[in-house]
Amino acid sequence: MNNQAALQLPFSLQPLFDFVGQVTGGSANAFIILVAALKILLILGGLLQTIPFIILLERKIIGWIQDRPGPNRAGPLGILHGLLDGVKLFFKEEIMPKGVDKVLFLMAPSLVVVPAFLALCLVPVGPIIQGRNLAALANFLRLDPTMVGPGGVISQIPMAITNPNIGILYVLAITSMGVYGITLAGWSSNNKWSLLGGIRASAQMVSYEITLSLAILSVILLSGSLNLYQIIETQRGGFWNWHILAAPVAFILFVVAMFAETNRLPFDLAEAEAELTGGFHTEYSSMRFALFFLGEYVNMVIVAGMCVTLFLGGFYGPIQIETIPLTALQGGWDGLASQFSQIPSIIITLASYLLGPLVIFPAKVSFFIFLFIFARAILPRMRYDQLMSLGWKRLLPIGLINLVITAIAVAGDLAYRASLPGGLDANPHIFLATKLILGAVTLGLFLGWDALIFSPARKKQLTTEYRNLERGADHPAQALAQ
Amino acid sequence: MVLFLYSILFVITVALAVGVLLNKDTVRSAMCLVGVMMCLAANYLLMQQEFVAFIQIVVYAGAIMVLFLFVIMLLNLREVEVLPWYLRNARFWGGVLALLFFFVVGFGINVFRSSHGIPGVVAKEQALAESGTPEVIILATQMMTTYIVPFLLTSVLLLVAVIGAIVMARRRDEDGNEIVLDPEEVDA
């Protein structure tokens, strides 16, 4: 019984490839371009469809927390609200105030959105299709096996738009470009609130990028690669392999820096509607304002995706369900094969491949989206000096110490593995025990930080000083204390 | 095809570099410099040096230029202020320095090309590059073995610069005594 050969698309896609091949010079180019275009369409399109619902969800959840219904007029449960918001923004009048720097004013919104979309190229939403599964897929789609298939022009299709070797570095580089949009919007608006917002944004994002990089560096040390797929591959096998257990402090630093990088509460000092009327986007209206809005939400999804990739095992589930190989099914793999052999195997393969990008990855990303929304609903905004002192005086030293401890552990593990019989080839991965001990030690140090370096008396003194600083020197409570 | 891309990049880079010099507005000038940095990164990408390209963006375009922009905006430098004495003849001295730099770079490239590199070092790198090892691993191994002394010296230099910046930024009163900020006085 050979289901694999039997099930094919009822029509051939070859004319499409022939047509694109004529335009782009050679059918090899056509395959590369069409596969890339399809991935861009699916990932970008999927994200853009989701964002109105994220916004709706945010307003609903905040409404629920604040004990009010939230948007509930447009459509059942207010589902159409996001759509109507978009339409409204589209038809609003575009206002350009007097005295703006026109070039920079027009350029700023796109400088926010373009880096956000560029960073999206790298987010690995699903596994790499390769080997006999790719052959099966090519057969199903009636594609030329010398073009798509093992040993063909396209020998593997990662479920990310692109997969360069320096992956995480690309993401860092591109997301660090996003700050220009916000800063320039603040500068060019010819408005002092906007300018203040822009200045705050540039200082804040540069400061917290350091914390972000330090957190990412410990993950790079643990996985020994910059490539996002290899970072996920080192976390394969089950939730006990996830880097969150080996680098809990780096995870905490990453999450904090993530909020600061996306300018979300409690770090939204660049907008700060209570003090700056809207900050950098005060003077923007209509679609240009919508672009800032869109950029913020795309950035949220991207940093959440990065966090999932780096610390939570990416598209792999908490317990590994191995991608079911086709031949194993046909050859009678356990008793399972006879159960499943009635179903065309291509469908099982597709299902096992789509579990990651359609269920597991979105579920993990949504967790962080919820975190963003909850934080916005329940946390007050930090003051500017608190923000800077948190970034430079607390997170930065913690990140450095964490990095040094991680490096020592990884180097020790490497030396031990090299001394074992068989050397590094026989033991290519860091031992689970090392990871868990490292995680426990760093988390213990992080939580016991206060107890370790401050005596109770000094701690009390510091707390009093900090409280006084919080209240301000002329606060009546402090006058009483003196 | 690659030559075509190089020529386009060349034109854009030079145009942006001229923009840095000719723009009266400091912010626009700084943004042109960001563009130049991005073009250089694109150049490295065309040479298939991905790591150097993205480090270029992270460090120069992403960090240093943001700080430049921050300072410009903080000081609100809308127009060119009165020049200090050492910048009066800036065009002349800048031209001289540019010429000198051009000759030094030309000389260096010439020496490198005629000698085919220092035996042993460049040959080793070429062999590594041809072996198909990822670029990052080659860079890391070289930096931690062959070039460990310059690497450490550079990091010490950066440390000195950081400490120097802190020393210079410390506030002093008229007698040269250091002002220590009392946390209770900060908000007063």
Please name the residues in contact with A239: beta carbons below 8 A apart, sequence gap of 6 or more: A245, A313, A318, A319
At A353-412, the pLDDT tens digits run 777 788 888 899 999 999 999 998 888 888 888 888 888 888 888 899 999 999 998 888
Compute the distance between CA of residue A228 and CA of residue B128 in angstroms, rounded to an integer. Answer: 24
A153 falls within a domain: no
Residue B163 shares a structural domain with residue B109: no
pLDDT score of B155: 92
Contact A104 B28 (CB under 8 A): yes
Q: Quote the tokens at residue A76.
A: 């059942």
Contact A166 B136 (CB under 8 A): yes
Domain tally for chain A? 1
pLDDT score of A330: 46
B146 falls within a domain: yes
Q: Is B179's pLDDT higher than 70?
A: no
A176 falls within a domain: yes
pLDDT score of A322: 54
Give residue B101's pLDDT band: very low, low, confident or very high (50, 70, 90).
very high
| Residue A374 CB coordination number (10 Å) | 14
**Interface residue A220 vs chain B (CB under 8 A):** no
A385 falls within a domain: yes
Residue B50 shares a structural domain with residue B70: yes
Residue B25 shares a structural domain with residue B60: yes
Residue B6 shares a structural domain with residue B46: yes
Q: Is B128's pLDDT higher than 60?
A: yes
Residues A213, A233, A154: CA angle, nearest 5 degrees: 105
A266 falls within a domain: yes
- Which secondary-structure segment (H or E) carries A358? none
**Interface residue B188 vs chain A (CB under 8 A):** yes
Residue B55 shares a structural domain with residue B109: no
Q: Which residue of A has its CA nearest to B133?
A: A165
**Interface residue B67 vs chain A (CB under 8 A):** yes
Tell which A residues from 322 to 351 touch B, by Cβ distance under 8 Å. Answer: none
B151 falls within a domain: yes
Give CA separation, A322 vs A135, A136, A319, A428, in Å: 18, 17, 9, 20
**CATH number for the domain including B9?**
1.20.120.1200
B83 falls within a domain: no
Per this entry, what is the length of chain A?
482
Torsion of CA A322, A123, B62, B79, to 10 degrees: -170
User: For chain A, which ranges sit under pLDDT 50?
Assistant: 1-6, 323-335, 337, 482
Residue B113 shares a structural domain with residue B134: no
pLDDT score of A334: 46
Q: Which of A101, A114, A163, A183 to mutate to test the interface with B (most CBs of B within 10 A)?
A: A183
pLDDT score of A342: 60
Give residue B79's pLDDT band: very low, low, confident or very high (50, 70, 90).
low
CA distance A473 to chain B (A): 5
Please name the residues in contact with B44: beta carbons below 8 A apart, sequence gap of 6 or more: B50, B52, B53, B56
CA distance A110 to chain B (A): 14
At A346-361, the pLDDT tens digits run 676 677 777 778 888 8
Compute the distance between CA of residue A234 and CA of residue A413 in angstroms, rounded to an integer. Answer: 15
Identify the domain containing residue B70 by its residue range.
1-76
Helix, coil or strand: residue A154: strand
Identify the domain containing residue A436 by its residue range.
92-125+160-481
Per this entry, what is the length of chain B?
188
A168, A38 Cβ separation under 8 angstroms: no
Residue B64 shares a structural domain with residue B28: yes
Residue B65 shares a structural domain with residue B1: yes
Least CB–CB distance from B185: residue in A104, A170, A473: A473
CA distance B187 to chain A (A): 5
B149 falls within a domain: yes
Residue B51 shares a structural domain with residue B106: no
pLDDT score of A328: 45
B17 falls within a domain: yes
Residue B33 shares a structural domain with residue B55: yes
Q: Which residue of A has its CA nearest to B49?
A: A166
Tell which B residues from 168 to 187 touch A, by Cβ distance under 8 Å. Answer: 183-187
pLDDT score of A368: 92
Which chain B residues contact residue A202 at CB under 8 A? Answer: 66, 69-70, 73
B109 vs A124: which has the higher pLDDT: A124
Q: Which residue of B has its CA nearest to A178?
A: B62
**Secondary structure of A157-219 in HEC code, one letter for each residue:** EEECCCCCCCHHHHHHHHHCCHHHHHHHHHHHCCCHHHHHHHHHHHHHHHHHHHHHHHHHHHH
Which chain A residues contact residue B62 at CB under 8 A? Answer: 172-173, 176-177, 179, 209
At A308-363, the pLDDT tens digits run 999 988 888 777 655 444 444 444 444 454 555 566 666 766 777 777 788 888 89
A360 falls within a domain: yes
CA distance B99 to chain A (A): 33
Give residue B124's pLDDT band: very low, low, confident or very high (50, 70, 90).
low
A37 falls within a domain: no
Domain tally for chain B? 3
B119 vs A436: which has the higher pLDDT: A436
| Residue A437 CB coordination number (10 Å) | 14
Give the burial class of B29: count Cβ atoms within 10 A of its Cβ; 0-12 exposed, 13-18 middle, 19 or more buried.
middle
B39 falls within a domain: yes
Contact A166 B51 (CB under 8 A): yes
pLDDT score of A37: 86
Nearest alpha carbon to residue A168 among A125, A211, A123, A209: A123
**Interface residue B58 vs chain A (CB under 8 A):** yes
Which chain A residues contact residue B34 at CB under 8 A? Answer: 180
Question: Does the bond joining A69 to the residue before it have cis omega, within 30 degrees of 0?
Answer: no
Contact A165 B28 (CB under 8 A): no
Give CA separation, A397 vs A215, A402, A438, in Å: 12, 8, 18
A75 falls within a domain: no
B188 falls within a domain: no
A43 falls within a domain: no
Residue B29 shares a structural domain with residue B55: yes
B187 falls within a domain: no
- Which secondary-structure segment (H or E) carries A128? strand A126-130
